Structure formats: C-alpha cells, structure tokens
Amino acid sequence: MTDTPHIVLIEARFYEDISDQLAAGAIAAIEAAGGTVHRIAVPGILEIPATLQFAIEGKGDPETNRMFDGGIVLGCAIKGETDHYEHVCTESLRGTQDVALAHAFPVGNGILTCPTRALAEDRADVARKDFGGKAAIACLRLISIRSELGVEP
C-alpha cells in the first residue's frame, strides 16, 4: 500500500436514498484520511460479493490503473412480507466475508439489514449513525492491521 489508500466502494443502489447517505459518509471518511475512492454501483446487495471478487482479481481501477488497497461494501435490505429478506441478507454478508477472507483483502462492511425503513434511514444518515463512515473507518483499520502484520496484498 502507498501512503494514500485507494479504496473500491461497491454500493447497492436498490434503495437509492439510503445508498446515497451511506456513500456520502464513506467517501467523507476516506477523503478525511487522505485516501481515494473508486465507486462501483450494483443493483442490489446480492451482487456485492461477485463485484468485490472482480475488483480484487482484476487489473485495478480502470481510471487510474491503480490496485485497490481495500474495499467498502454498502447497501440495504429492508424486511418485507416473505423470507426473501433473510436469504438476501445471509448470502450477501456471507459472500462478502468469504471473498475478503479468501484474498486477505480489507473490507469495511456497511450493508444494512433492517426490519424497517426508518431504522435503515437512521443508520445511513451521515448526521446520525453514519454507518457508511463507520465502514470506511473499519476498512482503513484493516488495511493498517494487514500492513502491521506483514501480510502482502
């Protein structure tokens, strides 16, 4: 890693207003730390793990040709009337963790799994709980830990 961490930010756009808040918090935290961000939008949280794998195994940022030092995953699932919610939440979270561990790749997880829209909005809001910013801080800390322990990207 260089002194300036370069982060891939993968955001599920199913709930656009919530995704916008999560992304704003994450980007602000990364920029405050002196890092840079490449954003990738996906339709929903189920597409996050595959996209994360593509980002890790690919040739890096297509705009700068720079490899990614870490990733942030953002999105939201809100419970509905069927069990689809449980499956989507479990698979997106498990898949993200599996990819991160398989590649020793630092990932800050800002995927919200909420029973109501109000709870999701509260957690995403930069002025309230700022889970996007918290996911960015987690990613930066994991990048630091990986470096401290001598794990090569």
Residue in this structure with the two tokens 């561990």, named with its chain if needed: 101
Catalytic residue numbers, as ranges: 84
Q: 3-state secondary structure string, the chain? A: CCCCCEEEEEEECCCHHHHHHHHHHHHHHHHHCCCEEEEEEECCHHHHHHHHHHHHHCCCCCCCCCCCCEEEEEEEEECCCCCHHHHHHHHHHHHHHHHHHHHCCCEEEEEEEECCHHHHHHHHCCCCCCHHHHHHHHHHHHHHHHHHCCCCC
